[in-house]
Amino acid sequence: MEIKYCKISTKGQLTIPKDFREKLKLHEGDEVILYIQDDGIIIKPKIVHLGMLRGLLRDEIVLDKAIDFIQSERKKWRI
C-alpha cells in the first residue's frame, strides 16, 4: 500500500498526488467518488465506461466467501 500525506486547503480542496493520478488514470476535469468507510475516506474514479469496473472491488471482496455464497444460493434454487 502506498501512502502520501496531503493538506486540505482553506477552501476544503485536496490535491491528489501526481503518481496516484497517473496510477488511477485521472486527468483534469475527471470526476471521483468519495465515500466514508470506517474512520477514513475512500476516493475512487467515477465509472465512465464498463471497462473501468475491472478490479474495482478486488480489495473489498473475499473470493472464497463469494464463491461459497454463490454456491449456497444456487443450491436453494435447484429443484
**Averaged over 53-60, what is the pLDDT?**
68
Query: 13 pLDDT band (50/70/90 cuts)?
Result: very high
Annotated domain spans of the chain: 18-77
With 0-12 / 13-18 / 19 or more C-beta atoms within 10 angstroms meaning exposed / middle / buried, residue 61 is exposed
Strand partners for 24? none
pLDDT tens digits, 25-36: 888 888 898 989
What is the pTM assigned to this prediction?
0.52
68: helix, coil or strand?
Answer: helix
62: helix, coil or strand?
Answer: coil
**Averaged over 3-7, what is the pLDDT?**
90
